[in-house]
A and B are shown apart, each in its own frame.
Chain A
Amino acid sequence: MHNKTLAELSAALRDGEVSSSELTRHMLQRIKTHNERLNSFVTVTEQLALDQARAADERIAAGQAGPLTGIPIAHKDIFCTRDVRTSCGSRMLENFIAPYDATVVDKLRHAGAVMLGKTNMDEFAMGSSNETSWFGPVRNPWDPETVPGGSSGGSAAAVAARLCAAATGTDTGGSIRQPAALTGITGLKPTYGRCSRWGMIAFASSLDQAGPMTRTAEDAALMLAGMAGFDERDSTSAQRPVDDYASGLNRPIAGVRIGVVREFMGDGLDEGVGASVESALEELKRLGAELVEVSLPNAGLSVPVYYVVAPAECSSNLARFDGVRYGHRCDDPKDLEDLYKRSRSEGFGPEVKRRIMIGTYALSAGYYDAYYLKAQKVRQLIADDFRRAFEQCDLIVGPTAPGTAFRLGEKADDPVSMYLSDIYTIAVNLAGLPGMSIPAAASGGMPVGFQLIGNYFDETRLLNVAHQLQLATDWHRQKPGGFE
């Protein structure tokens, strides 16, 4: 049953082949069996899930079910969930029970999705390997000695190991796409503003975006439809209707112009990954797509730009975690300064502290122009590169990550090498464009991600091309061993 895709489960639920309660119990059992090994869930909401499943079954019986009604899913622990611990992977919020639901959580609940629990993540979404979590690293189901990527590593591992039909993730510099690539699943980061950020604990507000993590493009279309939409509580959310993603999936892609990024196919790319990307390009050509070479001359600056902008915003966003109103507070503070210093020193891990310090420095008087302002200018240049590229093509493709999953601990002490694992994904966040990672042919037995980048609010085309590619190939149907 767990091997079915979300779309297949949806049909099975509606046809009465299985009830949501049965499906939910089955998934909860799988979590019990496998989570100790993977560490992908930090909280399992068993009773809540069973209650929601029962309600879903009633709704299905009443003929009022939508495509997500009764589907067991998981939320990244960055989304606030009312009356359920929302830790953000941090000791700071180890005991924080959110008093409200994030808009994305609320929308999916209203669509009838069943929440199984909350997934592990890099602390405050800062990391590319899930090793910065206060709750310990997540293991990659394909090889437990390797990382699942990050920061949405728990969601990625849970979907790959089929502990849930789908999961939510967030992507600030690649945090949906890179773990999707490393665990062989489908992950979509929508256009900035497509999903509301209300209730999603902020890392870098101008880059953060929620999106679905699923096994197929079709499933991603169904999930995104349940997550997206304007929200008056988020001033940066887009005031435009949500497209009918599912109905666009079956358009033929013959004649679609696909831009291959020259800069992404050269130095720094693992050979095996390069070969997998080439075979995906061949497949697209076979389906009638027209390949054109495009250039993003400033994309190489995206990592340094990102590591100014994102830490700058995070240094301010994380100031509210001060031990005064909620979250970790040190024992017996001597005075106010002691309360601040010890609560924050104890509550935050080293990567979070590193970024707060980088960001504080970049915004300081005398450095602001040289770092923050300069970075914003280059950010505009990167967006302009994409604008020009989209004059020549409808879609841009390339690798998602430079390599396959690396070993636990391999890059933990080398932040720069870790930061470079997002080299192909970061530019997309800086420009605010939608990006997606789908599995390409495995390399050395490990999954490889193929990245698709669309124009603003053109998620429909991304999903369409990805779905057509998945109809023609079986890369996305590969499963890690040991989770049957």
Chain B
Amino acid sequence: MQWETVIGLEIHTQLATESKIFSGSSTAFGAAPNTQASLIDLGMPGVLPVLNKGAVRMAVRFGKAIGAQVAERSVFARKNYFYPDLPKGYQISQYELPVVGEGVVEIVLEDGSTKTVGVTRAHLEEDAGKSLHEDFHGMTGIDLNRAGTPLLEIVSEPDMRSAREAVAYAKKIHQIVTYIGICDGSMQEGSFRMDANVSIRPKGQVEYGTRAELKNINSFRFLEKAINFEVERQIEVIEDGGRVIQETRLYDASKDETRSMRTKEEANDYRYFPDPDLLPLTIDADFIAEVVASMPELPDARRARFESDYRLSAYDADVLTSSRAQADYYEAVAEAGGDAKLAANWVMGELAAAINKAGLDITESPVDAGSLGQLVARIRDNTISGKIAKDVFAAIWNGEGGADEVIEAKGLRQITDTGAIEALVDEVLAANAEQAENYRSADPAKQPKMLGFFVGQIMKKSQGKANPQQVNELLRKKLG
């Protein structure tokens, strides 16, 4: 039997607001437990939520980034369930009327073709706190710092057909939310969390199979592994004559497997109803226009602009716009360096290799965009050769100063004075008179290769600083 995989994703993005969605508490990560929990976050008797307009602005920005309808009127609802890190006994979320309606994103598949994935909806909600099971013997610690942090839950259509497609979609959403500045994208800190709904069906069948929801996936690599494991598991169940049951499964990265958390029968009845403490959220055209006017350039638009304005290949433009930080860095280098192509080569070549090796993010690079731009400019104006530039780059990386500083300090400026180069040429030819004679009598087809010997000798004598082009020209003239 040929099986087809069907995947839909629910992505929780933590919005990068300064304060929580319904209280004035800070959302900063890593504070001591319960130091960022106000009366509201603690769910004290008598407290009331007040919506943070900044969170709404970010939700609208996402909606407009994926071409979705932004609802004129949306409603906050209570999702009721008991858990110690859920202080009120309900989570304020959106249910029937979400703030962002249907939209689409385009993903690029491995074969270079593109695919459109539908986004069903995106809604605002508050995060829960954290239960801490370590360090408490026979007890559970509750940290409510995270309780009330704004989340935008982005729900896709079941449009993905493989783990790879799911990863491409998740990466695309990650790219969009970080580009438009509504989420820091950090997976370690839980700012970007993914749940996958996975089912299989015989190829050609229209109806969907029964799905399992995979939770606890905190990297793109684990997303791919979890889906692949789950697909294999479901195929095995069905081919062994069994039936897939609707359930929530937890992905265990250490064992690379999914295991059942709860079945549909055990699932909560959340008893959603409109939250009477909050008025329906109304968003007018002016508000949307204001958000659109302040919208940063989106990744797809920026990639297209890189291709046309900087004359970069599609591949280069894609790599350089993969993150907003990368694209910002590149543009700064290109502008300071005055050569877009050369800038691209350096950002994707020497710089990328160095930061990968050091395990750093581009925002943490010891060589800032200004310094690298200066280096590119010095290559372009022939102050240094491309080869010497690598040494200069290493020196900047090691904190020895900016490009010009290093070039001056180390005396790496290229020798372009014709008289000085001619003296070097004469010296080398005089010392190698025999080889010079051989050259002159040699077959013209072999001459270019033989010329390399003299060039090498001269570059060595100049410690690499002689302008190679001038050296070549003078040699040919003198040996001609």
Contact = CB atoms under 8 A, between A and B. Distances in A.
A319 B50 contact: no
Interface string B86-102: 01111000000000000
Contact of B88 (A88, A96, A320): A320
Which among A198, A232, A235, A336 has the greatest number of chain B C-beta atoms within 10 A?
A235
A372 B273 contact: yes
A129 B334 CA distance: 79
A313 B77 CA distance: 12
B141 to A, nearest CB: 12
A329 to B, nearest CB: 12
Contacts of B389: none
Interface string A288-319: 00000000000000000000000011011011
A322 B88 CA distance: 9
Interface stretch (A112-120, A182-190, A358-366): A358-366
Interface residues of B, number: 29
A199 B46 contact: yes
B49 interface: yes
Contact of B80 (A99, A201, A319, A340): A319
Contacts of B401: none
B349 interface: no
B277 interface: yes
B89 A316 contact: yes
Contacts of A205: 276-277
B44 A100 contact: yes
A312 B42 contact: no
B49 A98 contact: no
B20 to A, nearest CB: 14
A240 interface: no
Q: Dominant SS at the B interface?
A: loop
B140 to A, nearest CB: 8
Nearest to A373: B273
B276 A235 contact: no
B39 interface: yes
B269 A364 contact: yes
Contacts of A204: 276
Contact of A233 (B48, B87, B272): B48
B468 interface: no
Contacts of B279: 235-236
A201 B42 contact: no
Q: Dominant SS at the A interface?
A: loop
B291 interface: no
A391 B279 CA distance: 27
B25 to A, nearest CB: 14
A40 to B, nearest CB: 22
A365 B50 CA distance: 28
Contact of B269 (A98, A200, A336, A365): A365
A36 interface: no
A216 to B, nearest CB: 29
Contact of A232 (B43, B49, B50): B50
B186 to A, nearest CB: 29
Nearest to B45: A201
Interface in A204-218: 204-206
Nearest to A80: B46
Contacts of B39: 99-100
A322 B89 contact: yes
Nearest to B76: A235
A128 B367 CA distance: 74
A86 B45 contact: yes
Give the interface size bracket for A toward B.
Answer: 35 or more
Interface in B409-443: none
Contacts of B80: 315-316, 319, 363
Interface string B264-295: 00000101110011110000000000000000
A310 to B, nearest CB: 11
Given A235-B51, A319-B82, A102 B46 contact: yes
Nearest to B83: A336
Contact of B87 (A88, A198, A200, A325): A325
A283 interface: no
Contacts of A93: 45
Nearest to A199: B46
A406 B269 CA distance: 41
B139 to A, nearest CB: 10
A8 interface: no
B50 A201 contact: no
Interface string A108-139: 00000000000000000000000000000000
A336 B277 contact: no
Contacts of A236: 48, 276-279
Nearest to A366: B269
B84 interface: yes
Nearest to A361: B271
A324 B47 contact: no
B142 interface: yes
B46 A198 contact: yes
Contacts of B82: 319, 322, 340
A201 to B, nearest CB: 5
Contacts of B87: 320, 324-325
B434 to A, nearest CB: 93
A336 B84 contact: yes
A235 B278 contact: yes
Contacts of B78: 316
A324 B46 contact: no
A51 interface: no
Contacts of A197: 46, 48
Contact of A206 (B50, B84, B276): B276
A479 to B, nearest CB: 34
Interface string B127-147: 000000000000010100000
A3 B221 CA distance: 79
A234 interface: yes
A198 B48 contact: yes
Contacts of A365: 269, 271
Contacts of A340: 82
Contacts of A316: 78, 80, 89-90, 271, 273
A209 B78 CA distance: 21
B443 to A, nearest CB: 91
Interface in A61-95: 79-80, 86, 88, 93
A390 interface: no
Contacts of A79: 46
A201 B82 CA distance: 19
Contact of B142 (A88, A320, A324): A324
A79 B45 CA distance: 9
A457 B78 CA distance: 29
A316 B44 CA distance: 14
Nearest to B144: A325
B45 A98 contact: yes
A202 interface: yes
Contacts of B142: 324-325
A407 B388 CA distance: 102
Contacts of A206: 276
Contacts of A321: 45
B271 A363 contact: yes
Interface of A: 79-80, 86, 88, 93, 96, 98-100, 102, 197-202, 204-206, 232-236, 312-313, 315-316, 318-322, 324-326, 336, 340, 360, 363-365, 368, 372
23 contacts: A79-B46, A93-B45, A98-B46, A100-B39, A197-B46, A198-B46, A198-B48, A200-B46, A235-B50, A235-B279, A236-B276, A236-B279, A318-B89, A319-B80, A319-B82, A322-B82, A324-B84, A324-B87, A326-B44, A326-B45, A336-B84, A363-B271, A363-B273
Given A233-B48, A324-B142, A363-B271, 7 more contacts: A98-B45, A99-B44, A100-B39, A235-B48, A313-B276, A316-B80, A320-B43
Q: Report, nearest first, the 8 A-B pairs whose CB atoms are least far apart.
A: A319-B89, A363-B271, A206-B276, A205-B276, A199-B46, A320-B43, A201-B45, A80-B46
Interface of B: 39, 42-51, 78, 80, 82, 84, 87-90, 140, 142, 269, 271-273, 276-279
